[in-house]
Amino acid sequence: MSAYHPLTAEEAIALAKSLPGIFSESTVLNCREIGDGNLNLVFHVTSENSNESTIIKQAVPYAKVVGESWPLSLDRARIERQALEIQHRLCSDLVPEVYAYSDELAYTVMEDLSEYTIMRKGLIDGNAYPKFAEHIGQFLARTLFFTSDLGMNQQEKKELAGRFVNPDLCKITEDLIFEDPYRNSANNNYSANIEDEAEALRNDLPLHFEVALLREKFLTHAQALLHGDLHTGSIFVTPESTKVIDPEFAYFGPMGFDIGAIIGNLLLNYVAQPGWNQNVENLSIREERLLDMVKEVWTHFEASFRHLWNTELLDEMSKTPGYQDYYLTEILRDAAGFAGCKMIRRIVGLSHVADIEGIPDESLREAAQRKALAVGKNLVRHHRSVGSIYDILKLVQLASTEIGVSK
Ligand code: SR1
Ligand code: MG
């Protein structure tokens, strides 16, 4: 019989104490369960008499946000831990260190990042993160390149992919991102004032065609080991440092999915800005900063990825002239489409984002929701003809203008 059970705070303390190298021997420990995400328990264990601390993250056998009626495999804790270990090996400054784990109890003990801010919150508060684009560009380039057929032995990659078969968590994405927003679903969640938008999404067959293409990519294109849920709630930041957490949705999929997650979430914050800024000057500074970040995420990713390709490539046929440019354009197109899907799901589907839901004024909130849908739909509709990051920015501007005209 399995020993699995959800840990109590006392058990979390006993576990932390039993691990060598985290706390000094005589220290008195406290513990708080601080998990505010959709799926897991998170214990923050701190010392009363020093600044030593740690995090114990434990999976529960269902989706916490919905309840026991939505069972989920505990194996996701192993997948998350192994993804963290791989990402830490490839980007040691950008990923927390794993100290210990138990696959049976589905927990991982890791570095505490309490002095960091969750990026979504930092952006809502209007903070600037000048190093973020460079850091995340590097994270994306290194984790995606070195787990793809470009930077990894192709037989070893297949073996590794076998360890990252993640059906439960992939199904969440397949349903919540690529299906529910386009049909009547009990999972959907939006207020009555945007029913017209939800109905338009359900009836837009040319849009469904593009989503079906992106969904097929998500289902079948095992390009590299993805983080799988790289939104701004999965990233801790300070102005100087970035740490990527929570890769429990990791699986082998299309590289553009991770890049699109970042771009889509920066754009969700961008469309929300009028809801958070009464001052016109501040508003335009922040909007411009966010669009610059979108551009820089891509340009940093592209520069690092091209550098890795030119210096670390293992695949002979990939040296064929023109192939690198083709490959990067395909990633960018996928990223544009996935960014759009991610924006749409956060407005009409299950699990919204505080950037938009937290806007205090109802009419500004509704305006942000409509703008997110306009931008998201534009990105999905036109993703296959994108040729540069500037085309993505143009699609964003175009949607903003269209919304302005229709007011
Ligand atoms: C039922 S889980 C809902 C969402 O939370 C995670 O962060 C993923 O984005 C998932 O789609
Ligand atoms: Mg998460």
pLDDT tens digit string along 339-380?
999 999 999 999 999 999 999 999 999 999 999 999 999 999
Res. 102: pLDDT tops 70: yes
Compute the radius of gyration of the chain from its Cα atoms: 21
The residue whose CA is least distant from atom 9 of ligand 1 is: 229
Give the CATH superfamily of 9-110.
Answer: Phosphorylase Kinase; domain 1 (3.30.200.20)
Mean pLDDT to the nearest integer, 194-209: 98
Mean pLDDT to the nearest integer, 102-118: 97
Is residue 123 within 8 A of residue 265, CB to CB? The reply is no
Q: How far is the CA of 371 from the centre of ligand 1 (A)?
A: 22
Residue whose CB lies within 8 A of the most ligand 1 atoms, among 76, 173, 229, 355, for a mutation test: 229
Provide, rounded to the nearest whole percent, the portion of the chain with pLDDT above 70. Answer: 99
Residue whose CB lies within 8 A of the most ligand 1 atoms, among 120, 171, 265, 351, for a mutation test: 351
- Read off φ and ψ for residue 55, nearest 5 degrees: -120, 135
CA nearest to 179, candidates 211, 207, 209: 211
Q: How far is the CA of 401 from the centre of ligand 1 (A)?
A: 31
Q: How far is the CA of 378 from the centre of ligand 1 (A)?
A: 23
Res. 239: pLDDT tops 90: yes
Q: Looking at 53-105, which runs of residues are DSSP E strands?
A: 53-59, 62-63, 67-71, 98-102
pLDDT tens-digit series, residues 125-183: 999 999 999 999 999 999 999 999 999 999 999 999 999 999 999 999 999 999 999 99
Angle, CA 45 vertex, CA 40 and CA 50 arms, to 5°: 155
Is residue 271 within 8 A of residue 368, CB to CB? The reply is yes
Q: How far is the CA of 375 from the centre of ligand 2 (A)?
A: 24
CA nearest to 207, candidates 58, 329, 384, 36: 384
Q: How far is the CA of 173 from the centre of ligand 2 (A)?
A: 12
Mean pLDDT to the nearest integer, 98-112: 98
Domain ranges of the chain: 9-110, 117-402
User: What is the predicted pLDDT for the residue at 260?
Assistant: 99
Ligand nearest to the CA of 235: 2
User: What is the predicted pLDDT for the residue at 406?
Assistant: 53
Q: Per the structure block, which two tokens stand in for 29?
A: 């420990």
Q: How far is the CA of 396 from the centre of ligand 2 (A)?
A: 26
Q: How far is the CA of 177 from the centre of ligand 1 (A)?
A: 9
CA nearest to 242, candidates 276, 284, 293: 293
User: What is the predicted pLDDT for the residue at 405?
Assistant: 56
Quick one: 289 exposed, middle or buried, by C-beta within 10 A (0-12, 13-18, 19+)?
middle
Beginning with the edge strand found earlier in the chain, give each strand of the sheet holding 107-110 in spatial order. Answer: 29-33, 40-47, 53-59, 107-110, 98-102
| C-alpha torsion sign, points 254, 258, 262, 265 | positive
Q: Which atom of ligand 1 is nearest to the CA of 249?
A: 8
Q: Which atom of ligand 1 is nearest to the CA of 70?
A: 1
Residue whose CB lies within 8 A of the most ligand 1 atoms, among 235, 343, 350, for a mutation test: 350
User: DSSP for 305-317?
Assistant: HHHHHHHH---GG
Ligand nearest to the CA of 35: 2
Calculate the average pLDDT of the chain: 96
CA distances from 73 to 40, 59, 84, 115 (A): 12, 9, 18, 31
Residue 91 DSSP symbol? -
235 DSSP β-pair partners = 244
User: What is the predicted pLDDT for the residue at 404?
Assistant: 66
**pTM (whole model) above 0.75:** yes
Q: Which atom of ligand 1 is nearest to the CA of 345?
A: 11
Q: Which atom of ligand 1 is nearest to the CA of 66?
A: 1
| Confidence band of 65 (pLDDT split at 50, 70, 90) | confident
Ligand 2 (ion): residues with CB under 5 Å are: 37, 246
Fold classification of 117-402 is Aminoglycoside 3'-phosphotransferase; Chain: A, domain 2 (3.90.1200)
Q: How far is the CA of 81 from the centre of ligand 1 (A)?
A: 18
The set of protein residues with a Cβ atom below 6 angstroms from ligand 1 is 38-39, 63, 65, 172, 176, 229, 350-351
Is residue 332 within 8 A of residue 388, CB to CB? The reply is yes
